[in-house]
Structure formats: C-alpha cells, structure tokens
Amino acid sequence: MEEAGGSPALSRNCEQARNSTSRISSTPGADTRGKDSVRVSSLYPFSAVVGHDDLRLALLLTSVHPGIGGVLVRGEKGTAKSTVVRALAALLPPVDVVPGCRFACDPERDDPTCPDGPHRPDGDVLTRPASLVELPVGATEDRLIGSLDLERALTEGVRAYQPGLLAAAHRGVLYVDEVNLLHDHLVDLLLDAAAMGRAHVEREGVSVSHAAQFLLVGTMNPEEGELRPQLLDRFGLTVHVTAAREVDTRTEVIRRRLAYEADQTGFAARYADADAQLAAQIAKARAALPDIALSEVELRRIAAVCAAFDVDGMRADLVVARTAIAHAAWRGAAEVSEQDVEVAVRLALPHRRRRDPFDEPGITEEQLEQAMDQAKQQAEEQPEPPDDDGPDGGERPETQERQQQSNSDGPQGTRDEAKAPTAPDQGFRARLLQVPGLGEGAPGKRSKSTADGGRVVRPAAHQGRGLHLVGTLAAAAPAQRARGRSGPGLVLKRDDLRLAVREGMESNLVLFVVDASGSMAARQRMSAVSGAVLSLLRDAYQRRDKVGLITFRAEEAHVALPPTSSVDAAVARLRRMSTGGRTPLAAGLLKAQKVLAAERMRDPKRRPLLVLVTDARATVGVGGDPVQDGLRAASLLQADGVASVVVDCENGPIRLGLAADVATALGGAVLRLEQLDADSISGAVRAVRAA
C-alpha cells in the first residue's frame, strides 16, 4: 500500500485501526484538552500516507461538511484504502456527549426523541474522541440497526431497544470495508440513514427513531464486483485509487512502512504536528461553513455542468454544491469560485455517469474541461425573467430546444455507447431463470432460499433457523402465573421455544456455455447471441450471482472466465470472443462439468445454473458420433443434479430441433433465443424445471 508524505496542503493524522470484525473505537490515550488538539496514537499516521491526493481531499471535505453524503473508495488491493480511512477519525474534533446516553446526544442540542431522553439541560458533559465504527461484511440487520434487548426481555419482561452500529456511529465515522460485498438490503439501510440523519427501527414490537449522523466511508475492490448504479448514486463522492508506478514513490512507501514497523510510537510522533494542523483546519472550516457565499453565477455553473453530463435526478447538483462550499471553506475563501466547482465535479460526478451496470465510471480530463467550458457560458448568461415563459406557463419552445440539444449532445464522450457490436436492443429485458427447490447459498435475488439471511415471516415450534424471541416470549407469557412466577424474569420451558421461519432469495453460480462455432457465426447470429447473453449477464449482475463463461469452437472448449463475482469481467471476455470453426458440443459440456465440480468443492452451498447457448449442430465428438457424444455429456450433468436451460439459436427454414434433445438430456428447459425477452411472453417468469 502507498504510505507516507504527500503534498503539504494535504498532510494527515494518526491511524486508529482495530482489527476486530466490527469495532467501535476511540483512540486510547486521546488528548481531549481542547477542540483543536489531535489524538496521538502509536498506529500508522494518516499524514504518512504517500500520494492519494484526491482520496485525502475527498475525506477531508466530507469531514468538513457531512451533508455531502460520504465517500466511496474504489481501488485495487494493497493501495492503503483501509489505512487512510481508519486514520480519518483521529482528525475529527472531539465531541461533547451526555454521559450515559447510548446515542451520543449533544448536550447543547438535546434530541427530544432520543430513546434515552429526556436529558437534563444542566447535566454533566463528557468530552470524548469521535468514534470509528466498522461494519463487517457478514453483519446482520440486527447488528446494524439494533434489536430487542434480550437481557431485559428475559429478566424484566419488557420490550427494550438495544442500539446497533448506526447509533454507535452517530457524530463519528462509519466505515464499511468491501462495501460491494455487503448485502444489498444492508447497504440500502445505511445509505437511507446517512441521507436522512436518522435511523428508524420498526421490528419485534419495538418502534424507535434516533439520530444517526455520521461520516460514511466505503471501500471496495472492483475486481470483486461493482455496486449497483442505484447504490453508487447514494454515495456523495467517489475516488479511484491505484498504486504508484514510479520507482521513487514506491521506494518511499517501503522506507516509511519499514520505519513504522521498527518504531511505531516514534514514527507516529514525527507526524503529530502535521496532524494537529489538519485537525485544527477541519474545525476552522466547519465553523466557517455557514458563512460561505454561493453566488447565482456559481449556482448556474453547477446546474449547467450536471446537465451537460446528463446525470439523473437532482442529487448530483446538491452534492456538487455542498462539496464546492466545503472546498471553499477548506481553503479559507469567503465564497465559492469556479475552482471549487471544478474540484467538486471531479469528485462527485464520475460514478453518476454509470447508467448501465457495465458502463465504466469516470470522467476524462478532456470531458471535464469541455463540460466546464460549456457551463461557463451558461453561468454567465442572465436567467430568463418569469414573464417570458411560454403561453402555457412552461418553458418557451426555444428554451426547451436548447435544453434537449444540451442533453443529447453533452460534453464529448459522455454519451458514447459501448463500441462492442454485441450490445442488445435497449428494449430487451432478460426473463428470470431460477434454480428449482430451496437453497442455502449467499443472499441474492434469483432463487428461493431458506438461508439465515432471509426475512423472518413467522415463529414455529419445530422448523426454522435461530430463536424467534418474540414468539418464544409470547408462548411463555400466558403460563407464567401457573408456573408460580413471583419476581422479575420469565419461567421458560423447552416447549416455549419458537424458531424463526425465514424466506429469502439466494444468488447462484450462472455458468454460460456459448457456442462460438462457424454454424452460429456463418448465419450472422453471433451478434444477436452475444446481445442476449449480455442481457443475461446484466440480469446476473442485478441478482448478485457469480458467473462463469465457457466458449467452444473448432476442436475444443475454453474457459474464457472462471467463476467470479465480477460480472464486468465476463462482459469484457464476451466482447472479445472469437468465432468460427467446427462445433465441439460434447467438449463444451464436459468442460462445464469439470468447472462445476471444482466450484462445488469450493462453494458447496451455491447452487449452479447452466445456460447453454447453441444450435446443437455438433460436428466434433470425443471419439464417436458428435451428436450422441453431446447427449451423453449432457446426461452426465443431469446426473450431477445441475439445473440447466438451453437457449436454442437455430434458425432458417430447416430446423433439426437438436437443442430440444440436448435440453431433454440435461433435464432442463429449452427456450428460443427470442423467448429470453421477458416482455415478449405473458407470464414472464419460468423456473428451470427440476432435474
């Protein structure tokens, strides 16, 4: 990872890491004698991190203005993402809290709805460091938002709320490492809380609302799968980090890391002064924030540049405005300038250009320069007076025309479509293909599941997973008098125990086996086939599946992509797929059997779904008749219990129907290529029938 130094304007502070799975930390030995003091830690200092100027600036601006909405850090492994983020909390000013309040209420701004309130207005005040809370990938909903207090329920018989990590992160930092691997419903919950500044809990007979204002930071490795565009948009800023390729920079990283390992305390002390300056600068910028002026010209500039990039909704405009204000406060200016807007655009818009799951996020320097030039012209124009509207009270026709032209053109490159000829029609929406039965795999959105992460639907005496607390208490309550209960607590018996019956959805391993032979390409079917598979890959992305890609042509089958969570990689391989040659169908199916067997050993709970895309006109066997060899290979997959669907790509006036025979041997369904479009058939969902 890159550690040490950086530019003087972006010096940093002390590391505050703890290596537990979920952690709530305030630096030991913290100096809280003054608001501008910095906590000294023996862990790696933030100011010792080399480079990553955009990342450090994004974190600082979000610290100055939490309303920006958090930072998403994307980057390859080993680039100090976690090191930088964990160190951030040590830079934040200490917070005054009400002693004993589990929700870190500010004594000067008492929250009348605090579950631990009301608090005395003249009560004691406790000053402590800002908290750093880490949300592990395997966290449950109970751990995030809180749940029924089990101890009080059993000892006192009352329904009391036990706060979760959102409450612990209030007025501090909530850090989610590998946020792209976090369950989608948990990401939705924490992003909702971050946007509203409050967490609302309605579950298990508990109804609670509490403040949850925190600096949200997520890190992720894109190789392990992307966040959905809808979730990307909820993060205020995003930064992509990579390891430096310059020898001098990498040398300095090694030098400082070795020095830190040799003397942690002494190494941290060398950067304490720079850290203290940054901590003071954050506090000063926060205090100046309300007085920063945002002129009409800069407001129009912000609106114009967001329109130029054709971003959805108004969240981008608001985030750019807040970031520009924070940057002006950070550099000590009294009002927002074009420089502040450009910095804000660079940090706030790249991930919002990602409309399709397979669009690459990012903005080039050329695109940014052109958008800012367009915005400058519109920012300096005088706004139309209200009485110049059209006859119906709306915009004048020429205004609408200019707006439509701006949206359609945009800065150079912002509307470019993927250059691959395999892109499907925009109206094509892949139908749902499911694995039959009930699985226990990782949470997702494809097949039915009874996994622990499912939604609790009811208590039951003899089936389910885990204790259903409310159901157990409800079953035991009527019998308490008869059991002679005379004091606090409940008298429980084995017959009172109720289990939680859960229903949910799982993700699957979707293995695509694609016929790339000449019999497909010669009739120019490959473009349509690739487009259909691309739509299925988009569907797999949205349902959080793992995917793999096998192609077969000429004399053999090739694993183009081993099973992975990065659907983007499958798209890239599909677009580079070679075609032509003979049709070794049996080789493709045998290769699929081998890949699935290895994956079953690696991840036994994830059920596979085989999607075979072919016209099944086999011309190469494994020692016998090519067609019969293909059917025998298919029967081996059926014997392994692999759920399958065959996409029949045969066309023309003479059709042999060989794909249907292969589907029968696989024990799966057969669909025509055009039937993959869910909108083309009434009753769009068809499950793959059981083997």
d(CA 302, CA 309): 11
C-alpha count within 13 angstroms, C-beta hemisphere, residue 487: 1
d(CA 35, CA 224): 40
At a CB cut-off of 8 Å and minimum separation 6, what does 74 contact? 219, 220, 221, 222, 238, 239, 240, 241, 361
DSSP string, 540-562: HHHTT-EEEEEEEETTEEEEEEE
* 3-state DSSP helix/strand/coil % of the chain, to nearest 5: 40, 15, 45
User: Phi/psi at 298 (nearest 5 deg)?
Assistant: -75, -30
Contact 91, 45 (CB under 8 A): no
Q: Rounded to the nearest 5 degrees, what angle is found at the Cα of 241, between the Cα atoms of 576 and 255?
A: 125
- The span from the first CA to the last CA of the chain, in angstroms, equals 48
Residue keyed to tokens 């890491």: 17
**The dihedral sign for the CA sequence 568, 614, 618, 512:** positive
User: Phi/psi at 128 (nearest 5 deg)?
Assistant: -140, 160
d(CA 353, CA 347): 12
- Which class for 273: exposed (0-12), middle (13-18), buried (19 or more C-beta within 10 A)? exposed
Contact 494, 476 (CB under 8 A): no
d(CA 304, CA 307): 5
d(CA 557, CA 515): 9
- Give the Å distances, CA to CA, from 343 to 169, 236, 349: 28, 13, 10
Contact 647, 671 (CB under 8 A): yes
Report which residue type is found at 538: R
Residue 561: closest CA among 548, 576, 575, 579: 548
Residue 652: closest CA among 691, 689, 617, 601: 617
**Beta strand spans in 385-490 (E):** 443-449, 455-460
What letter would DSSP give residue 174?
E
Q: H helices of 380-505, where? A: 397-409, 469-476
- Which class for 181: exposed (0-12), middle (13-18), buried (19 or more C-beta within 10 A)? middle
650, two tokens: 């045969």
**Catalytic annotation, pick one of 198, 203, 250, 315:** 315
Contact 472, 408 (CB under 8 A): no
Residue 563: closest CA among 532, 517, 590, 595: 595
- Give the Å distances, CA to CA, from 463 to 466, 492, 501: 10, 19, 7
435, two tokens: 């694995």
User: Phi/psi at 68 (nearest 5 deg)?
Assistant: -60, -35
Active site residue 315: yes
Report which residue type is found at 179: V
d(CA 531, CA 288): 53
Q: Is 565 in a helix, a strand, or coil? A: coil
**Residues marked as catalytic:** 315
